[in-house]
Amino acid sequence: MKKTISILGSTGSIGQNTLKVVENLKGFLEVKYLTAARSSSRLVEQANKFQPEAVAIVDDQAYNEVRDALSGSKIQVLGGREGVVEIATRDDVDVMLNALVGSAGMEPTIRAIEAGVNVALSNKESLVMAGEIINGLKEKTGAEIYPVDSEHSAIWQCLSGEVPDGISRIILTGSGGPFRTKSIDEFSKITVSDALKHPTWEMGKKITIDSATMMNKGLEVIEAYWLFGVRTNQIEVVIHPQSIIHSMVEFVDGSVKAQLGLPDMKIPIQYALTYPHRQPSSWEEIDFSSLEMLTFEKPDLDKFRCVQLAYDVLEQGGSAPAALNVANDNAVKFFLEGKIPFSQISTINEMAVQKHDFVKHPDLDYLLELEEWGKRLVSGDW
Ligand code: MG
């Protein structure tokens, strides 16, 4: 059975991997819409190759370039953030894959679910910021979320055929990032290029920095909370440096299921797009005889304060996780621009949670305001 899809953020790392999956499943997946933030030439190249009905690009200058380049084609070109949101509301696709980066991904997820479109979700920030809103809308429209994040894809696969009250614990694994063995005294000397060297996964810059601070694992705890309907104290983080076990679920009878695979995002992307079926792939397979060992350790919560912070905001509820998320988006941006040291990312995140205007049940307008507030936060203008 053929499926039509849209890809938000098609020029980024997840977007490009998704198009590789589309090529692997030629005849099964058809791309209808693509969007990008500012990579005009890559978007044009993708549009020429996959012939979508429409594309959208956020940046003004890039919009002009894409419009000119595609002027002789039948492909419609939309511009601005509104263009991306409009693509998200188009309900003539079977699945929308949201691979946007950071808070900017939240509104398109909400709009898609509102329009009854199933979402393959790579943008974990959507659920971190607006989990309550999104789950409410899912119930109303019947739209589904298919996790793309490798850990959540693993848990989802482990939960297949299980009943909710059988779950005892969700065990999220994480590689520990590049600074797992570094002492905290050396954290102030970490450079951007140190932080961009992830030991096992090849990813976009934002998530690579989030992995280095382990904020990524914290955000994934919150994401798991909204996806799987468990209590905060049922979600545990375990460090597994080899990134072969992508996560596990322990059941009340003591049985544990794990999902394994090489660290390759094409595997969870393809599963989210073919669900509930599986399709063959041509990716590299695990050679078990070459795996020397799989090891596990506790995360160091003093060194990686962002993990504890995620548990704390989940306990506080309301707008606290959203405040953490917008602060982190901007702290990471400022670190990448060389404006703040690595060690300050977690400090800014903590401060933002304390200082923001707490709301018990934030609506979309409030969350969009918070997104703007986050941008001012790090530059010190509050
Ligand atoms: Mg992940």
- Kindly report, residue by residue over 189-232, the tens digit of the pLDDT: 999 999 999 888 888 999 999 999 999 999 999 999 999 999 99
**Beta carbons within 8 Å of 45's beta carbon, 6+ residues apart:** none
Q: What is the Å distance from ligand 1's center to 75 Cα?
A: 33
Six token digits for residue 259: 């999902």
* Domain residue ranges of the chain, discontinuous segments joined by +: 3-147, 152-264+284-316
- Per-residue pLDDT, averaged over 102-129, amounts to 97
Rounded distance between C-alpha atoms, residue 205 and residue 103, angstroms: 15
- Kindly report, residue by residue over 286-322, the tens digit of the pLDDT: 999 999 899 999 999 999 999 999 999 999 999 999 9
CA 230 to chain centre: 19
Q: What is the Å distance from ligand 1's center to 148 Cα?
A: 8
Q: What is the Å distance from ligand 1's center to 152 Cα?
A: 7
Secondary structure (H, E, C), 122-137:
CCCHHHHHHHHHHHHH
Q: What is the Å distance from ligand 1's center to 61 Cα?
A: 32
Six token digits for residue 153: 């894809």
Rounded distance between C-alpha atoms, residue 268 and residue 201, angstroms: 13
φ, ψ of residue 249 in degrees (nearest 5): -130, 130
Q: What is the Å distance from ligand 1's center to 177 Cα?
A: 12
Rounded distance between C-alpha atoms, residue 107 and residue 100, angstroms: 11
The H-or-E segment that residue 374 falls in is helix 364-378
Sheet holding 256-260, edge to edge: 235-239, 167-174, 245-251, 256-260
Q: How confident is the model at residue 340 (pLDDT cuts 50, 70, 90)?
A: very high
As a whole-number percent, the residues of the chain with pLDDT over 90 amount to 95
CA 351 to chain centre: 23
Residue labelled with tokens 């205007």: 357
3-state secondary structure of 51: coil
Q: What is the Å distance from ligand 1's center to 153 Cα?
A: 9
Q: How confident is the model at residue 171 (pLDDT cuts 50, 70, 90)?
A: very high
Q: What is the pLDDT of residue 382?
A: 52
Q: What is the pLDDT of residue 1?
A: 78
Q: What is the Å distance from ligand 1's center to 20 Cα?
A: 19
Q: How confident is the model at residue 379 (pLDDT cuts 50, 70, 90)?
A: low
Q: What is the pLDDT of residue 381?
A: 55
Rounded to 10°, the helix 266-274/13-24 angle is 60
- Residue 102's region, left for phi above 0, alpha for psi from -120 to 50, else beta, is left
* Topology annotation, domain 3-147: Rossmann fold (3.40.50)
**Beta carbons within 8 Å of 104's beta carbon, 6+ residues apart:** 37, 81, 371
Q: What is the C-alpha radius of gyration for the chain, rounded to an integer number of angstroms?
A: 20
For residue 380, is pLDDT > 70?
no
**Beta carbons within 8 Å of 37's beta carbon, 6+ residues apart:** 9, 11, 57, 58, 59, 62, 100, 101, 104
Q: What is the Å distance from ligand 1's center to 323 Cα?
A: 20
Q: What is the Å distance from ligand 1's center to 262 Cα?
A: 13
Q: What is the Å distance from ligand 1's center to 363 Cα?
A: 26
- Per-residue pLDDT, averaged over 257-271, amounts to 97
Which residues hold their Cβ within 5 A of ligand 1, which is an ion? 149-151
Q: What is the Å distance from ligand 1's center to 373 Cα?
A: 26
- Per-residue pLDDT, averaged over 343-358, amounts to 95
Six token digits for residue 92: 């003539």
Q: What is the pLDDT of residue 53?
A: 98
Residue labelled with tokens 């607006």: 130
Q: What is the Å distance from ligand 1's center to 150 Cα?
A: 5
- Kindly report, residue by residue over 6-38, the tens digit of the pLDDT: 999 999 999 999 999 999 999 999 999 999 999
**Structural contact between residues 106 and 127, judged by C-beta atoms closer than 8 angstroms:** no
